[in-house]
Amino acid sequence: MAITGSPDALLSGQWLERQSATDLDTWTRQVVRRHFDPVSGSPFWLKRRGALGFDPFDITRYGELRAFGDLMPEVLREVDPVDLVPQGASGPPTGCVFESEGTMGRPCRVFLTEAMSAHRAAWRGAGLAAAGFRSGRTWVHATPGGPHPVGLGAAQVARSQESVVYRIDLDPRWIRRLIGAGRLAEVNRYVDHLTGQITDILSSTGVDYLETTPALFQALLRRRPELVAGLSGVWLSGTQILPAMYREFADALGGGLIGTAYENTFGGATGLPAEDGGDVLPYVPHYPQVTMDVVDRGDPSRTVEYGEVGRVRLTVLHEDLFLPGVLERDQAVRHRLPAGPPCDGVANIQPLQATWAVPEGIY
């Protein structure tokens, strides 16, 4: 079966109730002041303060973040990711740097602090629970690893769900390079390599759940439908799952769970129950640290109407990362959330532009 229950089931836990109840204007002031603190703020924003044309301490409401304009990926490709983190009184932070997929050129990099990682893990756990995934089960995770933050999911599930997790790595950048070069035979061989690893585990070990990308799950389904039918559920992380794919997966699982997540380097969104028989696949951003607007593709200053398709604009308001108005390479439908946090949802996410030169690949 697909995700069941009501959308507010995701927000029924005590932690998520507190998140949802956070006043966004108050939170905005708190985060802006932290990042522009002259002593302990983030070097990136302190260096840019004089060129803003306004005093950031005059920002009192979330809507006023528009004054910062759109933060283009080109800027984020050049910045030292450590400079985005408030320095605090104890000196420079320590930790790991993660990267975007690098679809449109050099990857963007983010320094993931312990607090940011905990925030992602809490939302993942809430999403799994709301979708009906049970703890103490066995998982296969076939997702990007290495520099990609989605690769943290396996360890998070192992801890929070008290689960055994088998891991399979995939390299989405290599897939894109092969597609862009027209080397489709090699693409198919690599996909066979990945599905072969998944098949080996599913056919020899008792596995309950699989986490992977929609594209790789579709490839597995077409190669080994009987193994897919034996799963109790699948968690799909990526940037594209279309209604037709969702319905195909639901039929193949024959009552198994489907959970979804819109994974993004800087912030994410968790899937809500499908609507209209799978025609609408909505997501709730990881509020209040992450919000998403859907804007006109030709005029980012205009937010589109509910039900209209536009470009995803991401705002990160984390204590350790402040990114107002990042124009993403994805498009979505602006979705009105029936319950939960006072922000917009997004639905039916897919690449803004997938061409032969800039392919979407397997993620």
Q: How would you write the pLDDT of the chain (363 residues) with one tens digit per residue?
A: 444 445 566 656 677 778 888 999 999 999 999 999 999 899 999 999 999 999 999 999 999 999 999 887 778 888 999 999 998 755 567 778 888 765 556 788 888 888 888 888 888 888 888 899 999 999 999 988 777 766 676 677 767 778 888 999 888 888 888 888 899 999 999 999 999 999 999 999 999 999 999 999 999 999 999 999 999 999 998 777 889 999 999 999 999 999 999 987 788 899 999 999 889 999 999 999 999 999 999 999 999 999 999 999 999 999 999 999 999 889 999 999 987 788 999 999 998 865 444 445 664
Which of 149, 136, 304 minimizes the C-alpha distance to 312? 304
Copy the structure tokens of residue 75.
């800027």
Helix, strand or coil, per DSSP, at residue 275 = strand
Residue 153: predicted pLDDT: 67
Q: How far apart are CA 281 and CA 242, in angstroms?
A: 8
Round the average pLDDT of the chain to a whole number and report it. Answer: 87
Residue 357: predicted pLDDT: 44
DSSP tally for the chain: helices H, then strands E: 11, 13
- Other Cβ atoms within 10 Å of 160 Cβ, number: 16
Q: What are the start-end ranges of the H helices in 208-286?
A: 214-223, 225-229, 243-253
Helix, strand or coil, per DSSP, at residue 309 = strand
Chain-centre distance for alpha carbon 103: 15
Q: How far apart are CA 187 and CA 199, in angstroms?
A: 18
